[in-house]
Chain A
Amino acid sequence: AQSVAQPEDQVNVAEGNPLTVKCTYSVSGNPYLFWYVQYPNRGLQFLLKYITGDNLVKGSYGFEAEFNKSQTSFHLKKPSALVSDSALYFCAVRDKGYQKVTFGIGTKLQVIP
């Protein structure tokens, strides 16, 4: 079985400050990990993924995420938040060899001007 947890319902950060959106996962094997962003009334957009290799993954719009196997975490980060980053962020996991992806419940990011 696979699962993913996003412990924060909402994250507030001031514009220009660094942001972190947390994600932890559980899989029986090795994970593929993903981050997606959703703007209001839109579909999800892919941001970045971890497959293998370097634990620090860089993605779209200046976002990055760090894979930590010992803590089973895959936190999303950005050095300097923009007001336009305000959106709903989803972490997702797929156990290698499985077809289905499990999404977290989402974290609302609010960047305050």
Chain B
Amino acid sequence: SQTIHQWPATLVQPVGSPLSLECTVEGTSNPNLYWYRQAAGRGLQLLFYSVGIGQISSEVPQNLSASRPQDRQFILSSKKLLLSDSGFYLCAWSPPGLAGGNEQFFGPGTRLTVL
């Protein structure tokens, strides 16, 4: 069966510090991968998605970046955090391709607080 991991679970960082959040998926190959941010416990904002290694699509221009160095690894980074980067970050995966209306499977999330 497939499993998705995210770490860390919680993170408190000062403004201006760097960020690295990691997401890994087990039990599947060539998944589509997604990073979302959820602010104030409500709507999800799609940040990045990837359909393959090294292929990243950015949805929101900001000081965050994403990388996919391996097939089942997705990393969210920042060189300098802003207060507005605080939120709940969710990684998700779905089976490859567009056909079939595949649902997404979400990780447990990372709670980031920027002080």
A residues at B contact (CB < 8 Å): 32, 34, 36, 40-46, 49-51, 88, 90, 94, 96-101, 103-106
> Is B31 in contact with chain A by the CB < 8 A criterion?
no
Q: Which residue of A lies closest to B59 (CB)?
A: A100
Out of B51, B98, B101, B108, which one reaches A42, CB within 8 Å?
B108
Interface residues of B in 65-101 (CB under 8 A from A): 88, 90, 92, 98, 100-101
The listed residue (A50, A98, A101) touching B104 by CB distance below 8 A is A101
Interface flags for B13-41 (1: CB within 8 Å of A; 0: not) read: 00000000000000000001000000001
Q: Which of A45, A88, A99, A106 contacts B98, CB < 8 Å?
A: A99
CB distance from A3 to the nearest CB of B (A): 12
State how many angstroms separate the Cβ of A71 from the closest Cβ of chain B: 20
Size band of the interface chain B makes with A: 20 to 34
B 101-115 to A, binary, CB cutoff 8 A, 1 in contact else 0:
101111111010000
Question: From residue B108, how far is it (CB to closest CB) to chain A in Å?
Answer: 5
Contact call B103/A100, Cβ cutoff below 8 A: no
- Chain B residues with CB under 8 Å of chain A are 32, 41-44, 46, 49, 51, 57, 59, 88, 90, 92, 98, 100-101, 103-109, 111
Select which of B51, B90, B101 is within 8 A of A43 by beta carbon.
Answer: B90
The 9 closest A-B pairs by CB, nearest first: A43-B106, A32-B101, A105-B43, A51-B101, A103-B44, A44-B106, A46-B103, A106-B42, A43-B108
Chain A residue contacts of B44, Cβ below 8 A: 44, 90, 103
Name the B residues within 8 Å of A94 (CB-CB). Answer: 101
Q: Say yes or no: B98 contacts A41, CB within 8 Å.
A: no
Residues of A within 8 A of B106 (CB): 36, 43-45
* Distance in angstroms between the alpha carbons of A97 and B97 in the assembled complex: 10
Contact (Cβ within 8 A) B59 A49 = no
How far is B100's CA from A90's CA once the two chains are assembled, in angstroms? 20
| Residues B43 and A106 in contact, CB atoms below 8 Å apart | yes
Contacts of A49 in B (CB 8 A): 101, 103
Cβ contact within 8 Å between A97 and B109 = no
Q: A94-B101, A97-B98, A101-B104 are in contact. Are A41 and B109 (CB under 8 A)?
A: yes
